Amino acid sequence: MTRDWNRRTQLVHEGSRRSPYGEMAEAIFLTQGFAYDSAEQAEARFQQAGADEFIYARYGNPTTRMFEERIAAIEGTEDAFATASGMAAVNGALVSMLRAGDHVVSSRALFGSCLYILEEVLVRYGVRVTFVDGTDLDQWRAAIVPGTKAVFFESISNPTLEVIDIASVSEIAHAAGALVVVDNVFATPIFSRAVDQGADVVVYSTTKHIDGQGRALGGVICGTTAFIRKVVEPYMKHTGGSMSPFTAWIMLNGMVTLDLRCRAMAESAAKIAAVLAADSRLSRVIFPGLPSHPQHALTLRQMGSGGTLLAFDIKGGKEAAFRFMNALEIIKISNNLGDARTIATHPATTTHQRLPEDQKAKLGITPGLVRLSVGLEDTDDLIADLDHALKLI
Ligand SMILES: *Cc1c(COP(=O)(O)O)cnc(C)c1O
């Protein structure tokens, strides 16, 4: 059947497989392995497994496969490999393709665990890593040289929401023969057009918007069939970072409502950002959807939306930020994002605590900075909660 489904249809149906019972909801194939009809069949499957033939859940599983096909369709890649967490995906995408002596260029503003992989793990195995300011194309041009194997960046950085120009960085990387690996968590699969704009490999922590209800850890690597099946799969299946079928089932169910949730959250985030931008108790409001954001035009071109996260600096520093957070009633203090529940995070003392003070200052992680992941509550209730807490700083 030739299909030309739009994204909302793909999010509901793509990749679905039904057992002979014809169940409506995707089944959880909670099985480590699969029985063969004969020894010959086992031998043949180990030689070359077909599209609907499975061997062992670490290698692949029908429920996991449904999720991989659904996310690949949404992202516009040929294939995908589902992993146990977002970090298993970042590690798997990079380590599976890199060898000692290879050169990687990465943006400096990274999620702490991503920084650990680039700064500690890769370097330990003889990979050379050059860090750049991801928003400065001249720095990418200077750092990427012929022979550079890969570039890595978060398309929107955490927590200061700098937006990196995927198309321009990809052009520079491709001219040198380097593969572009994008961690696209903050952009979400709904607002992402990373592959259209030149990315070769797109990585998600599905723990965030894809689950969307803060239940399970998961990740996924999206790319060409050759990259996913010949480079990523051998590494992941032999090193143990595959997604469990139960997690894949949670993620499949998350995807059904992903478009609706991301759009509702982004709309709410835009309204909240506009209200906060006029608030004199804050020294700055960072939201890529605000015209004051340095990459506002790029954001609209790249995502068509400002996304679901914002950050703001409370006058009065850490003490005022803590008083504000402690006064919140609906909004939870936590460190996940993309959840249906709105979450406030104080990066300087939690997610980015490990960074030395000068690095924090360089990245704009000030003592008064609060990151807000906007959820699905009523926008007016959230604005009232924020206003009430700001009155108590
Ligand atoms: C959360 C996050 C990760 C890690 O994902 P886990 O599922 O927690 O392992 C990686 N990159 C970014 C940008 C993230 O926000």
pLDDT of residue 134: 96
Residue 369: how many CA atoms within 13 Å on its side-chain side? Answer: 23
Q: Which of 194, 167, 170 is nearest to 180 (CA)?
A: 170
Tell whether pTM > 0.75.
Answer: yes
> Across the chain, where does the E strand assignment appear?
79-83, 103-107, 128-132, 150-154, 179-183, 201-205, 219-223, 282-286, 309-314, 332-333, 343-345, 369-373
pLDDT of residue 3: 75
Rounded Cα gap, residues 27 and 19, in angstroms: 8
* Ligand 1 center–CA 86 separation, angstroms: 5
* Ligand 1 center–CA 99 separation, angstroms: 24
pLDDT of residue 359: 87
> Across 99-216, where does the E strand assignment appear?
103-107, 128-132, 150-154, 179-183, 201-205
Q: Under a CB-based contact definition with an 8 Å cutoff, are residues 372 and 331 in contact?
A: yes
pLDDT of residue 2: 54
* Ligand 1 center–CA 167 separation, angstroms: 23
pLDDT of residue 132: 97
pLDDT of residue 4: 86
For ligand 1, atom 5, name the residue with the nearest CA.
86
For ligand 1, atom 15, name the residue with the nearest CA.
185
Low pLDDT (below 70) residues in the chain: 1-2
Tokens 């062992």 locate to: 56
